């Protein structure tokens, strides 16, 4: 656990020593703030027609749409946050330091995952703060907001783990980001694509990340959805650890 | 650990990569206090061997044990006792020297209270004091190499593995690095790879010459020098038998058309040989101690791919 914390802490420190993390944070915050203000303006126009005391008003009109936009952005944010983690180490020839230090492959991968997840989770939390600010002027459905936040954190954990797996697979950060974006998008949109093709398959529906994220936006926290996200996260991290193992055995 | 057990034992190690044999049937041992130089041309398998010794790469067959522990059966424990400097120093450019060495010390499992002292010790040992607050990405090649070496020794490992440590250094930096490696050998076992013969002669106690993935020659350097005896340059062309007919000559080896390496029998002297050469009218041009025996062995092995010289 100590080594995992050390690797994660080192990655967080290095991330924030570079402009990339700050620029990513700033751009996402600006984009979400802009969307938030647009939605808020529309909400104000409609506010006279709505009962301000009804928590569904602000939550449905502003808070949850902002978080839905974030869920789409996370498909891009997670690959960008993870592309450097293992691929960057391989490219900078620093991976031997970890591999030769007697740290297990899984511990390296979990440390890298936590290091990247810290940035992604920070973005989620900043995004959640925007709709939370409405609590000063209106009443929000905090239960739904909490459920949506939990869902987004689980969703981003899965995307981060997929990003780490792709980053372990190649030594080129850009390729890792592209692969993670494609895989994540496929997993997120697979059910929509199937429906467009006229296929309504339960398995395809179950496999989709969106299927399991959507209930959280309605305030539904189901163990099956939590287990699904944890399963995707664990499988992706095991794949990354397996890849490090094969770097040792196959070269 | 039993003091009689060699620190590092490489036993019949082979390594295949993409269906190609990179290392074949390699066996070596190394004790604490020794510096072993792995010598070979580019592509001889030196870096692959070092990556296997450091735990970076698993052998296809055979075993590597450190202090009696198999490096792959007990990877975490065994690797804590290794310090590895790859060909390219593994530096995080976003960290300064002190932060980086602190991270390396913690990564190698040093207890928290001892980390500061270990970092200070290694900064002093590698003469990094003036650079301690500088980002590693801003260091010159020589300092990068020194920081790389510092990370390899910060946790005082039993075995230090250095891949081309003097690569890219200027002569003064290379000289200081050699001195440092010699001081490290007092308390550690050191393996270094190089294709620079002078590095081996200056730093190493033993040399192992790899060529095309096989160990072609292994010897104690002092024995190579002691046994090398004399190099003789003559005017005329003579054959080997002419030398062997001289009573003081134990063996004769041609270096080029008129240059020979002559080993003398016990009790014979160089003046005996000089007198015999004059008596035979070979036309003696030069007679000197042969200080380049290692170079000749290396060149012979490197230029004759099918050489079958047995590993000692």
Checking if the pLDDT of B4 tops 50, the result is: no
B interface test, pick of A101, A111, A115, A241 with most B CB neighbours within 10 Å: A101
Strand partners, B213: none
- For residue B89, the distance in angstroms to the closest alpha carbon of chain A comes to 7
**What does the pLDDT read at residue A14?**
92
Contact (CB<8Å) A6/B79: no
What is the domain extent for residue A69? 2-250
Domain count, chain A: 1
Contact (CB<8Å) B86/A248: no
**Which CATH number, 3.60.20.30, 3.40.50.300, 3.30.465.10, 3.30.360.10, labels domain B8-220?**
3.40.50.300
pLDDT digits (tens, 9 = 90+) for A198-213: 666 777 777 888 888 8
Structure tokens at A165: 């797996």
Where are chain B's structural domains?
8-220, 230-289
Compute the distance between CA of residue B96 and CA of residue B99 in angstroms, rounded to an integer: 5
Compute the distance between CA of residue A101 and CA of residue B56 in angstroms, rounded to an integer: 9
B230-289 CATH: 3.30.70
Structure tokens at A211: 């299927």
pLDDT digits (tens, 9 = 90+) for B113-123: 999 999 999 99
- Does the CB of A205 have a partner CB in chain B at under 8 Å? no
Checking if the pLDDT of A77 tops 90, the result is: yes
Strand partners, B193: B38, B163
Please give the span between the terminal C-alpha atoms of chain A, in angstroms, as a whole number: 27
Q: Which phi and psi (to 5°) does residue B7 adopt?
A: -60, -50
Checking if the pLDDT of A99 tops 90, the result is: no
**Average pLDDT of the segment spanning A108-122:** 95
Checking if the pLDDT of B16 tops 60, the result is: yes
Contact (CB<8Å) A100/B54: yes
Tell me which residues of chain B have a C-beta less than 8 Å from any C-beta of chain A. 15, 17-18, 48, 51, 54-58, 75-80, 82, 84, 86, 88-95, 103-104, 106-109, 151
Q: Which residue has the higher pLDDT, A111 or B253?
A: A111
As a 3-state breakdown, chain A gives helix, strand, coil percent values, each rounded to 5, of: 85, 0, 15
**What does the pLDDT read at residue A106?**
92
Structure tokens at A235: 């499988």
**What does the pLDDT read at residue B311?**
38
- Does the CB of A13 have a partner CB in chain B at under 8 Å? yes
Compute the distance between CA of residue B159 and CA of residue B190 in angstroms, rounded to an integer: 6
């Amino acid at each position: 656990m100590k080594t995992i914390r050390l690797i994660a802490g080192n990655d967080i420190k290095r991330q924030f020593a570079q402009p990339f993390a700050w620029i990513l944070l700033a751009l996402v915050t600006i984009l979400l703030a802009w969307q938030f203000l647009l939605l808020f303006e529309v909400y104000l126009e409609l506010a006279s027609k709505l009962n301000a005391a009804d928590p569904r008003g602000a939550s449905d009109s502003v808070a949850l749409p902002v978080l839905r936009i974030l869920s789409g952005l996370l498909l891009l944010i997670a690959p960008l946050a993870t592309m450097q983690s293992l691929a960057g180490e391989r490219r900078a020839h620093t991976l031997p330091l970890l591999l030769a230090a007697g740290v297990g492959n899984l511990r390296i991968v979990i440390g890298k995952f936590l290091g990247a997840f810290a940035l992604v989770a920070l973005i989620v939390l900043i995004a959640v703060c925007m709709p939370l600010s409405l609590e000063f002027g209106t009443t929000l459905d905090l239960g739904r907001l909490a459920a949506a936040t939990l869902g987004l954190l689980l969703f981003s954990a899965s995307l981060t783990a997929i990003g780490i797996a792709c980053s372990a697979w190649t030594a080129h950060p850009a390729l890792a980001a592209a692969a993670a974006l494609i895989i994540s998008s496929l997993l997120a949109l697979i059910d929509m694509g199937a429906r467009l093709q006229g296929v309504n398959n339960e398995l395809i529906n179950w496999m989709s990340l969106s299927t399991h994220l959507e209930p959280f936006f309605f305030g539904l926290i189901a163990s099956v959805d939590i287990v699904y996200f944890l399963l995707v996260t664990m499988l992706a991290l095991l794949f990354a650890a397996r890849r490090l193992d094969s770097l040792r055995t196959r070269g | 650990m039993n003091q009689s057990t060699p620190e590092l034992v490489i036993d019949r190690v082979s390594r295949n990569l993409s269906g190609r044999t990179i290392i074949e049937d390699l066996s070596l041992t190394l004790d604490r206090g020794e510096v072993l130089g792995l010598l070979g041309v580019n592509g001889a398998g030196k870096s692959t061997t070092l990556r296997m010794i450091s735990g970076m790469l698993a052998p296809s067959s055979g075993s590597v044990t450190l202090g009696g522990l198999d490096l792959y059966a007990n990877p975490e424990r065994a690797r804590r006792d290794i310090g590895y400097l790859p060909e390219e120093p593994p530096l995080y450019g976003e960290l300064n020297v002190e932060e980086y060495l602190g991270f390396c010390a913690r990564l190698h499992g040093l207890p928290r209270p001892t980390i500061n002292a270990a970092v200070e010790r290694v900064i002093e040992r590698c003469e990094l004091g003036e650079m301690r607050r500088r980002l590693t990405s801003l260091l010159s090649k020589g300092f990068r190499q020194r920081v790389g070496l510092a990370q390899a020794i910060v946790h005082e490992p039993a075995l230090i593995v250095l891949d081309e440590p003097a690569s890219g250094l200027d002569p003064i930096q290379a000289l200081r690095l050699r001195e440092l490696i010699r001081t490290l050998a007092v308390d550690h076992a050191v393996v270094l790879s190089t294709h620079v013969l002078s590095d081996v002669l200056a730093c190493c106690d033993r040399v192992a010459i790899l060529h095309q993935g096989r160990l072609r020659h292994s010897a104690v350097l002092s024995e190579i020098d002691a046994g090398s005896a004399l190099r003789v340059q003559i005017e005329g062309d003579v054959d080997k038998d002419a030398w062997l007919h001289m009573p003081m000559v134990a063996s004769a080896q041609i270096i080029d058309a008129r240059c020979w390496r002559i080993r003398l029998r016990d009790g014979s002297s160089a003046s005996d040989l000089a007198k015999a050469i004059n008596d035979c009218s070979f036309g003696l041009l030069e007679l000197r101690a042969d200080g380049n025996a290692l170079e000749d062995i290396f060149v012979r092995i490197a230029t004759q791919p099918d050489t079958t010289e047995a590993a000692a």
